[in-house]
Structures are given as structure tokens and as C-alpha cells.
Amino acid sequence: MVQQLQANGVHTKETPLKDVRFINSNTQAVGLDEVRNGHLIPVFVKDNEQIISHQQLIDTTYEVADDIFGNLDAPALRVSHPVKGRIPTARDKKVGDLEPHEKTVYYERMAFLIDIPNITETVNGQQLSLTVGGVRALNQENLYSFKGIEKFKIFIGFKVSVCTNLCISTDGYSDVIRVSSPDELSVKIRELFSSYSMENDLKFYQNMQDYSLSEQQFANMIGRAKMYPFLSKADREKVPSLQLGEYHFNTVVKEYYKDNHFGKNDDGSIDLWRLYNLFTSANKGSYIDTFLERGVNAFSFTQNIGNALENKTSNWFMN
């Protein structure tokens, strides 16, 4: 597997750092070489068995995507929540005196994407490219036990080139893959990638442009979205699910006025394609461990609004 990545130019000493800001909040870009050669691999405490590492997740996803689609870009990685340490011989040193080789680190949370540049489409003048990737959040694992089933989140969807917004539907997302080996992980990833119908999602993105919210409907939606977390459980079950929070909707409102690509029209209206991109752009402020779920929810939420507009039915968020 590693040899295949090397043959495709993904893992060489000259691999550049790709700072692709598909998520921003509390994250930093790292290179694949750094992850492969410089990061520790955590273990399950009870038996000292190693986890399926960030590197293995990326390698496995790349191998499957390369087999199905070919012509892949190098992975772009973003990480957060570092777990720092030091080698035993540096145990008595002050922090400021530590040499680089005496420091150890791995990151609790990691997200990555791999672009497939030969599969593209244009929606409303913006280029979309097919993209695959995943998330590993070790805060959702019990590492203080024996080695067992591990959890992974994998996606396939489209990235909007102008802003790196990720468009991920329920059909292109697997939450959560549970496996105990890289081979099992490969099978699950292949099932997701092979079953994904990009034509359905692209048709939906194109159709989004045919439906718009007026300024009043947009304002109602924002107000209702901020009311949603305070509804009773019974009342929340009667309306479309919403996982974006107040911080996200404050960003949506700001960009409704300021975004040159996806902001409002002169009359205050906004079509659903642009509204959806305001949602996915605001979602970049989510933490890694909730990023994909919220992105998929933004798709479903927009879909519910579109259905209400198409069928001229009531929708609590716009009333």
C-alpha cells in the first residue's frame, strides 16, 4: 500500500504541505510525511495493541479511491487537539530547553480530503470537483481498554473550488464505519465509494438554483434557527433536524450581506444553492469531530426547505 502511494507521488521527501482550508476551527495543516514519520501511534492501554493509525486511514482511503477513480491529488490534512510528550532522556529538562527531537506528539482529531481533479462539474458558474476523505476522532474511542472495534467517518462528495466548501449528502457519508483491521476498513470504504451516485447529487445542486427565499423568509429562517435549540424534545421531533448552532447562523447572516459568490441578490432574495453554500461555509467553524455530521445535516436541511418551496407546503423554519 505504501509503495503504491509512493508510486503515485503521494509520499516522497519532497511532498509539499497542502494548506487546504476545508475546515478552520482550531485546526492546523500538516503534511502526510510528518504524520507518517513524526507522529506517535496511540495504543489500547490494556494490551498495548496499536490503533489503526491516521496514516493507515489515509493510505487505505487513497488506495481504494485510486483503484476506482484514478488520477488523485495528494491528500490534504488538518489536525487538532495535540497530545504532547517527550522522550525519557528529556524528562528533567525545562520546556524551553527541549530540542525538537526530544518532543513527541500525536493529534487526537484528524480530517483529510483527496481531490479527484478529472471528475468535475459546474454549478451556477462555480467549478465542483469530486472529493473523498474522512475523519478520525480519538476522543470517541476508548483507548483505556483492550483492542476492539474502531470508528471511522468516511465521505465522498464535491468540493466547491472557489471556496473549498464541501458538499456532502446522506448518500455520500458513512457514519460510523466500525472495523477492527485495515482490510475491513478497505471493504467498507469501497462499498461507499462504489455505491455513490454523483449524478443524483449534481442534479439536486443544479435544481437548487430554481428555488429562492425572499428576504422575509430568510429572516424568518434565521430567527427560527436560533429558537430551535430551546424547543422541547417533542416539538423538535415535529420539525426538520438542525445541527448548526447560533455561531454558524451568525456567520450565515454576515456572509448573506458580504459574500461575493453566495450572498443575497439586490432585492434580498437568495437561491438555495447560495444558501446551502453559506451553510457549508459556516460549518468550517465546527470542530473536526462534528464537522461531517453538520455538513450532511446542512444538505438535508436545505433539501427540506426546497421540498417545501416546490410543493408549496408549510415549513416551520420559514413561517
Q: What is the pLDDT of residue 17?
A: 81
User: Could you state, in order of their start, the residue ranges of all structural domains in the chain?
Assistant: 2-196, 209-311
Question: How much is the pTM?
Answer: 0.91
Q: What is the pLDDT of residue 8?
A: 45
In 3D space, the residue among 264, 314, 124 whose CA is nearest the CA of residue 208 turns out to be 124
CA distances to 9, 16, 89 from 137, rounded to whole Å, are: 27, 25, 30
Q: What is the pLDDT of residue 319?
A: 84
Per-residue tens of pLDDT for the chain, all 319 residues: 444 444 444 444 456 688 899 999 899 999 999 999 999 999 999 999 999 999 999 999 999 999 999 999 999 999 999 999 999 999 999 999 999 999 999 999 999 999 999 999 999 999 999 999 999 999 999 999 999 999 999 999 999 999 999 999 999 999 889 999 999 999 999 999 999 999 999 999 999 999 999 999 999 999 999 999 999 999 999 999 999 999 999 999 999 999 999 999 999 999 999 999 999 999 999 999 999 999 999 999 999 999 999 999 999 998 8
Return all residues near 181 (Cβ < 8 A) that are at least 6 apart: 52
* CA distance linking residue 165 with residue 168, whole number of Å: 10
Q: Are 302 and 279 in contact (CB under 8 A)?
A: yes
* CA distance linking residue 12 with residue 312, whole number of Å: 56
In 3D space, the residue among 169, 161, 196 whose CA is nearest the CA of residue 69 turns out to be 196
In 3D space, the residue among 160, 168, 171, 183 whose CA is nearest the CA of residue 135 turns out to be 168
Q: What is the pLDDT of residue 16?
A: 67
Q: What is the pLDDT of residue 15?
A: 60
In 3D space, the residue among 134, 124, 197 whose CA is nearest the CA of residue 161 turns out to be 124
Return all residues near 289 (Cβ < 8 A) that are at least 6 apart: 109, 135, 137, 139, 140
Q: What is the pLDDT of residue 25?
A: 82
- For 116, counting Cβ atoms within 10 Å of its Cβ (0-12 exposed, 13-18 middle, 19+ buried), the class is buried
